[in-house]
Structure 1
Amino acid sequence: MAEFDNSYARLPERFYTRIAPEPVPAPEIVLRNDALAASLGVADWGAEVFAGNAVPGGATPLAQAYAGHQFGGWSPQLGDGRAVLLGEVATEAGRFDIHLKGAGPTPYSRGGDGRAWIGPVLREFLVSEFMHAAGVPTTRALAAVRTGMTVRRERDYPGAVLTRVAASHIRVGTFQYFTARGDTEAVEILADHVRARHFPEAEGVCGLYRAMIAAQARLIARWMGLGFVHGVMNTDNMAVSGETIDYGPCAFIDGYSPAACYSSIDRFGRYAYEQQPTIAHWNLAQLGSCLVPLAERELGSEAAAVAALTQELEAFPDLYQAQWIAVFGAKLGIAEPGHEDVALVQDLLGLMARDGADFTNTFRGLVDGSARDWMLDREAFDAWQARWERRRSAEAAAAMAQANPAVIPRNHRIEEAIAASLEGDDGKARRLARVLLRPFDLAGDDRDLAVPPREEERVTRTFCGT
């Protein structure tokens, strides 16, 4: 049985609002993560808990307060407008938040209905579990349930709730919420809480900031290695733990373009694929500004605090670059990738962009020898391959197979699964969930899921669930 130890609920009351999830009329499980449920000690939970109709013993439901920069514009109060944190489950592997997304309105809903519909819930379940299987730090999906309610967006949709699991749900925007109110005491309490929960070895304010910066550098590099476009990298959607959070209008690149942008609300490409490291750096700068008063206490002056935090922030590009070449070096089977390999990777990406080559299949093709088939300018690829062969490790094939997934949650396949689910057929969603749990090992019967979309199947716009 799960043991709740709700450390966030022990923080001052201005950090959250206690509120229970609103019951729904007819909860029905669509997808359930049995392995994750067992590891958390919640294998006995059913649809009633996952929908919010029953609150497990020891849970302390609450909605967290936070603020954020959304597409660069400042919003001083956001918060959990359609989600409720049940509490934290303590396990041998650590503590994990269990969070109901779509659980009804809260004081932070800003006029919204607090609900979710089945499409975004299935997308987050499928994509987040794939990301975990592919080795990317991420929130997890425990269950997706229908609610028996109708949710109104551009039309009526069947309502749903996602049960999400995370190391925590503390965001850059959580720090910003208190900084905007001049509440330095709360910023300090939050920093101590984050250190205890995520970075216990970090010393001092600068050490904590350094750890959070390094976590983001690791995360974004792994996104880039999968051709993942988050789509809404607002500061309220950046978890300080270094996990991917809030899979709204996210997507994976099919035909490679560094400017790939799918989000329907990102009209100017602020969060395009190639922009993600820059935006992470910008978001971290906003986090650093929140820590200035704490660093000032340690270092004796505001000028010293700003200089020290700036020095930590300026390390991000090099930290990210080191993580990026490690990720792509592994994809190319280079045993000890270094600065001299950056041009090799960039030249391949350049060829892929020029030809619109499929991102996932080109890299997987380096494993099985089919990469050339995805290129239009095969003579140029042959010249690149000769350079690559000189750098590739002789024993690289097995390692490369574990660095280059054979299957990803392709945008058109997710849309197919959502469309089928709207008609009452959850088979496609369940098949995707099964296959995406083993993305490096694709069985013959499932190879159709690795095929890029035909022109008429291409998904060029993705949408938030609100």
Structure 2
Amino acid sequence: MPLEIPFDNSYARLPERFFVRQSPVPVKAPELLLLNRGLAAELGLDADALQTPDAVQILAGNAVAAGSDPLALAYAGHQFGGFSPVLGDGRALLLGEVVDRQGKRRDIQLKGSGRTAFSRPGSDGRAPLGPVLREFIVSEAMEALGIPTTRSLAAVATGERVIRGQAEPGGVLTRIAASHIRIGTFQYFAARGDTEALQILTDHVIARHFPEASGTLDLLDAVIARQAQLVAQWMGVGFIHGVMNTDNTSISGETIDFGPCAFIDTFVPNTVYSSIDHHGRYSYQNQPDILAWNLAQFATALLPLMGADREAAIASAQATMELYPDRVRGAWCDVFRRKLGLTRDEEGDERLIGDLLSRMAAGQADFTNTFRALATGNARDHFVQPESFDQWEENWRSRLRREPEPGAEAVAERLRAANPAIIPRNHRVEQALSAASDGDLAPTTRLIGALSRPFEDPPADLEDLTHPPTDDERVYRTFCGT
């Protein structure tokens, strides 16, 4: 059966200064490595048809599907605090949009599909296979964890080598997103003084993502709310994005661009994994504050749409931005309250949460396994000095007794539902990618399968995936893959 994709490309109907039309650059010998059959079904696509030779040519960028209108999107962005007025899709193309079975509009994009008009000098526009598989693994893990995220539909090997210090196998990822509109998209037009384009983009985003918003300030407020919730969810699973530039902050509130990302093992709040984050700007503990900085850039970009009186516009934007601290604090408390088995808000909960995290940091406790072990009663075993946990546990047990359902079984059920047993630990991801570069996909498929059920106790043959790394296995650096 031939592949049929019911494209309905709304972004392609915007003015041409929003993008550059071009086709993907063909690759030598495409081979389908991974296909997300469940996601294909959500999109209304035939998974069997996606595996045919003709479909693989489309997923590799060697052919363009009927109805597709490939676009390299224009955007700007602050990268590590410095503004770049032109970034854009330097190695990705939006193939088009589909409306899924739930009536939600979704982008279909190829990453690693060759040079575009936005490619940096010297860039080949390609992606090594390792980062393609990393994004597939981690984005699907985030979906299973219940965290808003872009998704991975397919990973294709190109049969070519790319040079990233050394020759590596190349790959192309088919990424699915609610949209690929970023804070940097707004910054692109704001930097050009193109108020007309800003208004068109704002109207498009409101219609697509926030139909309840009545104007620019409502849009700013809605984006702040979604982003506050998202970063709180990241913190709750120990996720470090690694490169929280404004061009990597999605307006839709999805996690996007899984480059130098990782999950904390031993809880150290200032943990940094990214090889390019030399000063810890995007450390675990800094993420809520960096998001505030990014949202301030979004608010600044929107100012031309808030009226002719700039001082009044600034005051309105600032008043809206001032909602962020309480929102992110509230979202963070809600996430961690659930991780402690608590169902309602009490004064003192934030202090209780913070006390545990401080003791975990001092006690060199594993983030994921400590929270999971609250359900089994052996969390103290994860501390270098278990008596430090004992001192905290007494206060926690007292707080639990004030819950509507304080019984041990009900509490344990809540704890298991809020605390994953398995995450994509960085050393396991790296081991899978290393094997894949040698042609062995078994560790990758094993990991993806296990990560699809993160809140279940894994069977014995997968229990090794829950173990923290040994000193020899520990990985301290991750790379963006560009």
TM tier, shorter chain?
over 0.9
Match of 2:465 in 1: 449
Count, aligned residues: 463
Shift of 1:378: 1.4
CA RMSD in angstroms comes to 1.0
Gaps of 5+ in 1: none
Contact 1:121–1:160 under 8 Å retained in 2:
yes
Tell me how far apart the structure 1 counterparts of residues 256 and 170 of structure 2 sit (CA, whole Å): 21
Shift of 1:339: 4.5
Report the 3-state secondary structure (helix = DSSP H, G, I; strand = E; otherwise coil) of the residue aligned with 1:30. Answer: strand
Tell me how far apart the structure 2 counterparts of residues 302 and 261 of structure 1 sit (CA, whole Å): 39
Contact 1:2–1:40 under 8 Å retained in 2:
no
How do 1:408-427 and structure 2 match up within 5 A?
A: 408-427=423-442
Tell me how far apart the structure 2 counterparts of residues 408 and 339 of structure 1 sit (CA, whole Å): 31
Shift of 1:355: 1.5
Match of 1:6 in 2: 9
Report the 3-state secondary structure (helix = DSSP H, G, I; strand = E; otherwise coil) of the residue aligned with 2:115. Answer: coil
Structure 1 counterpart of 2:247, from 221, 236, 239: 236
Contact 1:325–1:338 under 8 Å retained in 2:
no
**What are the superposed Cα offsets for residues 59-110 of structure 1, whole Å, 9 maximum, x if unpaired?**
1100000000000011110000000100101123211000100000000011
Output the amino acid matched with 1:104: G
Shift of 1:219: 0.3
Contact 1:259–1:274 under 8 Å retained in 2:
yes
Match of 1:175 in 2: 186
Gaps of 5+ in 2: none
Report the 3-state secondary structure (helix = DSSP H, G, I; strand = E; otherwise coil) of the residue aligned with 1:286. Answer: helix
Shift of 1:42: 2.2
Contact 2:92–2:112 under 8 Å retained in 1:
yes
Tell me how far apart the structure 2 counterparts of residues 55 and 68 of structure 1 sit (CA, whole Å): 29
Report the 3-state secondary structure (helix = DSSP H, G, I; strand = E; otherwise coil) of the residue aligned with 2:17. Answer: helix
Match of 2:312 in 1: 304
**What are the superposed Cα offsets for residues 207-248 of structure 1, whole Å, 9 maximum, x if unpaired?**
111000001000000000000000000000000111000000
Shift of 1:337: 3.0
Output the amino acid matched with 2:224: I
Shift of 1:422: 1.1
Output the amino acid matched with 1:384: W
Distance 1:338 1:307, change over 3 A: farther
Report whether the alignment pairs 1:92 with 2:101: yes
How do 1:41-190 and structure 2 match up within 5 A?
A: 41-43=44-46, 44-46=49-51, 47-93=56-102, 94-111=104-121, 112-190=123-201
Contact 1:2–1:90 under 8 Å retained in 2:
no
Report the 3-state secondary structure (helix = DSSP H, G, I; strand = E; otherwise coil) of the residue aligned with 1:109. Answer: coil
Contact 1:33–1:142 under 8 Å retained in 2:
yes
Percentage of pairs with the same residue: 57
Runs of 4+ in structure 1 off by over 6 angstroms are: none
Structure 1 counterpart of 2:476, from 445, 448, 460: 460
Tell me how far apart the structure 2 counterparts of residues 4 and 368 of structure 1 sit (CA, whole Å): 49
Match of 1:396 in 2: 411
Tell me how far apart the structure 1 counterparts of residues 108 and 398 of structure 2 sit (CA, whole Å): 48
Structure 2 counterpart of 1:194, from 201, 205, 221: 205
Tell me how far apart the structure 1 counterparts of residues 18 and 258 of structure 2 sit (CA, whole Å): 24
Tell me how far apart the structure 2 counterparts of residues 371 and 50 of structure 1 sit (CA, whole Å): 45
- TM-score normalised according to structure 1 size: 0.98
Match of 2:263 in 1: 252
Output the amino acid matched with 1:454: T
Report the 3-state secondary structure (helix = DSSP H, G, I; strand = E; otherwise coil) of the residue aligned with 1:465. Answer: coil
